[in-house]
Structure 1
Amino acid sequence: MPEPPTLVRRGRLLRIGAAAVVLLAVATYVAVQYATGGRAKPRCVVASANGDGASYEFTAEQAVNAATISAVGTSRGMPERAVTIALATALQESGLRNIHHGDRDSLGLFQQRPSEGWGSERQIMDPVYAAERFYAHLAKIPGYSRLPLTVAAQRVQRSGYPQAYAKHEPDATLLAASLTGRAAASLTCDGRPAGGDGTRAGDPARVKSALVRDFGKDVAPAADRARRSVRIPVPATVESAQGGERQRGWELAQWAVSNASALHIERVSYAGREWTAGNAGDAADAWRKVSAKSPSGAGPGASRSVEEVRIVTGQ
């Protein structure tokens, strides 16, 4: 018995509608691929230096914010544990994104509230300011470095969900070890070589400005526009909050890799290793060994009492 005309028409309309949805999805995919050059968003990976296979993958946006939080902490003389607490807090509160919304008037990386005296809206939306305020409050907590992370974070944040910070401790620990420089060559990012995908060229002056913004004036970067590079001396007398010269150098080098997409950084070299944008994979593969060179302006037999981090921007 033939189907009633109404049912036939309804079935035909459903098939047409389904086909239209599929076509729209395909068209959207093609448009996104065209706009992004067929590539996914840049990503970063940090790996454990303990040989246990632990790793954490995150976005380039998150990497920039994590690097700022770490740099602000070490520049204040805060230990690695403080950086871990700050990173876990930001992971929970904002997903390491500088968001302009939240519960009531909460804002920024740490969801700080102007109405609670954390600062003005403009100040809180500045990642450096927000991180400084977090560490200032953390430093006032007696024995915070010996407290469970959730307890230390809660005493700063006064969150309605204090136990939520705990789940981010493993990832925050990996990030802190890398970004403070203790875990050398443990972080890599895809990066975006400038000019290759229609983006603007990198500017050494912007890299220098960002370094000073996050680390303070004592970092003393020297920008060379002609060579598209920034050189940061790491004298043996300069130490990070965590360790000596070599750790300070890796802190600066991995900060640069974290900012590779944002600042169009093409290469970073330090301590006989070099990272290049576009080298996807794990950190051990991304940081390849290179021959050691004498400091800029020195002869072949010059002393290596001053090493340097070299950051090369794309053109």
Structure 2
Amino acid sequence: MPGPPTAVRRGRLLRIGASAVALLAVTGYVAVQYATGGRTAPRCTVTPAHGGGVSYVFTAEQAVNAATISAVGTSHGMPERAVTIALATALQESGLRNIRYGDRDSLGLFQQRPSEGWGTEGQIMDPVHAAERFYARLEKVPGYSRLPLTVAAQRVQRSGYPQAYAKHEPDATLLAASLTGRAAASLTCEGRPSGVEAARAGGPAGVRTALVRDFGRDVAPLPDGRRAVRVPVPAAVDVAEGGERQRGWELAQWAVANSSALHIERVSYAGREWTAGETGQEWRKAPKVLKAAATPKKATAIEVDEVRIATGQ
């Protein structure tokens, strides 16, 4: 026997409402998939320098912040161990994301607090300032480079969970080796603009601005046509294992880390080339750079001691 008319109508309305919600959810999913081409956020991968071992996969947003932390450290003369400590700390505190919230008044990559003298809210939310302040305090820790990572990080952060930094040491070590340039051709990214990470202006002008912002005015990025930048690498630089020039690889892999944010499509250095793609493209042998000789009929291949960064804008 059918129920009262009011109950029947109520049940019908509930079923219609549930169907509408489901339809809206499916429509929203389809719209997002259409807008993004069904793709996840762009990713980056760091591989061990000599092959084997476990790679570290992270987002383009994290890559930008990690590259800034590393660049600030080396620009201030800090060793790779200091960069490793800083990266492990940021991985624990914020997941390498520049967040505007945290415990009490904690903010940013390192969850620094204005009330504890780390700077104003605006300063702490600037990754360069935040990294500079972290390194300044780390440098004052006696023998920090010989301390266990978790101890060195805790001397700076004074965290309620001091042992938590240790679990990030393997990933931070991989990242530091790559971003300081010691591990050549070890960082790749998909390089797809995502809209989320593109916080910096792209194009050659944006690349030059970001380079100076992260590395300071010691770098001298120069325009190279309408859509490219070249960064001269000084001849007197440290040489990493395998004969690769460490400073050049530091700049080159910084560019790859920033590829999504700055719309970078190609990076070339030391006879190797990375190209943006749907999946992280490995570093491959680059085409030879030719320079015309005195006789027009001849050309001589030369090595160009510079990092070349080509953009899509």
**Structure-2-length-normalised TM-score:** 0.87
Please say if residues 180 and 242 of structure 1, whose CA atoms lie closer than 8 Å, have aligned partners that are also in contact: no
CA distance in 2, matches of 1:201, 1:73: 23
* 1:303–1:96 Cα change, 3 Å: same
* 1:33–1:297 Cα change, 3 Å: farther
1:312 aligned partner = 310
Alpha-carbon offset, residue 301 of structure 1: 4.2
Please say if residues 289 and 301 of structure 2, whose CA atoms lie closer than 8 Å, have aligned partners that are also in contact: no
2:255 aligned partner = 256
CA distance in 1, matches of 2:161, 2:239: 33
CA distance in 1, matches of 2:215, 2:168: 25
Alpha-carbon offset, residue 294 of structure 1: 5.2
Where does 1:222-237 land on structure 2 (aligned, <5 Å)?
A: 222-224=222-224, 226-237=225-236
Segments of 5+ residues of structure 2 without an aligned counterpart are: 195-199
**In percent, how many aligned pairs have the same letter?**
79
Where does 1:100-111 land on structure 2 (aligned, <5 Å)?
A: 100-111=100-111
* 1:99–1:51 Cα change, 3 Å: same
Please say if residues 75 and 241 of structure 1, whose CA atoms lie closer than 8 Å, have aligned partners that are also in contact: no
1:120 aligned partner = 120
* 1:193–1:97 Cα change, 3 Å: closer
Segments of 5+ residues of structure 1 without an aligned counterpart are: 195-199
* 1:296–1:182 Cα change, 3 Å: farther
CA distance in 2, matches of 1:191, 1:296: 33
* 1:273–1:203 Cα change, 3 Å: same
Please say if residues 295 and 307 of structure 1, whose CA atoms lie closer than 8 Å, have aligned partners that are also in contact: no
Query: Where do 4+ consecutive residues of structure 1 move more than 6 Å?
Result: 6-11, 240-245, 295-299
Where does 1:1-315 land on structure 2 (aligned, <5 Å)?
A: 15-192=15-192, 202-224=202-224, 226-239=225-238, 246-281=245-280, 285-293=281-289, 300-301=299-300, 304=303, 307-315=305-313
CA distance in 1, matches of 2:72, 2:239: 12
CA distance in 2, matches of 1:40, 1:112: 31
Please say if residues 188 and 280 of structure 1, whose CA atoms lie closer than 8 Å, have aligned partners that are also in contact: no
CA distance in 2, matches of 1:70, 1:220: 18
1:271-292 deviation line (CA, Å, top 9, x unaligned): 11111111514xxx52121233
The one-letter amino acid paired with 2:140 is K
**Structure 2 SS opposite 1:231:** strand
The one-letter amino acid paired with 2:47 is A
Please say if residues 201 and 314 of structure 1, whose CA atoms lie closer than 8 Å, have aligned partners that are also in contact: no
CA distance in 1, matches of 2:73, 2:240: 9
CA distance in 2, matches of 1:228, 1:286: 22
2:197 aligned partner = none
Alpha-carbon offset, residue 218 of structure 1: 1.1
* 1:193–1:13 Cα change, 3 Å: closer
Alpha-carbon offset, residue 233 of structure 1: 1.2
Alpha-carbon offset, residue 62 of structure 1: 0.8
* 1:240–1:261 Cα change, 3 Å: farther
1:107-151 deviation line (CA, Å, top 9, x unaligned): 111111111111111111110011011011111111111111110
Please say if residues 238 and 245 of structure 1, whose CA atoms lie closer than 8 Å, have aligned partners that are also in contact: no
* 1:302–1:50 Cα change, 3 Å: closer
* 1:85–1:244 Cα change, 3 Å: farther
CA distance in 2, matches of 1:311, 1:155: 39
